[in-house]
């Protein structure tokens, strides 16, 4: 699914994931880059605009954050 979204945007899977993570204002992502090419690839993710349906697909498959926990009722 990630590869299909990436292909549709002519992007890499890493760029799709980074674009997905950085679209949430409360989330801070620190991507690793071992080369100048990787830094440039990461920077290009900022230009990638995912459709709401694509973001929903990713979120359904890879939810961000911990599942909600509830206190037991006495």
What letter does residue 73 receive in the DSSP assignment?
Answer: P
- Decide: pTM greater than 0.75: yes
Instruction: Note whether residue 47 is domain-resident.
Output: yes
Residue 11, both tokens: 């992007």
Instruction: Note whether residue 6 is domain-resident.
Output: yes
CA distance 57 to 60: 5
Instruction: Note whether residue 69 is domain-resident.
Output: no
The total number of structural domains in the chain stands at 1
Instruction: Note whether residue 73 is domain-resident.
Output: no
- N- to C-terminal Cα distance for the chain? 43
Nearest to 27 by CA among 17, 37, 35: 17
Write out residues in the chain with pLDDT < 50, as ranges: none
- Rounded to 10 degrees, the C-alpha dihedral 40/3/52/70 comes to -100
């Amino acid at each position: 699914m990630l590869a299909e979204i990436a292909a549709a945007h002519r992007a890499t899977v890493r760029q799709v994931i980074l674009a997905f993570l950085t679209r949430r204002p409360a989330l801070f992502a620190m991507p690793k880059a071992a080369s100048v090419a990787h830094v440039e690839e990461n920077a290009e993710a900022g230009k990638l605009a995912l459709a709401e349906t694509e973001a929903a697909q990713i979120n359904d498959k890879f939810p961000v954050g911990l599942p909600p926990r509830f206190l037991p009722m006495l």
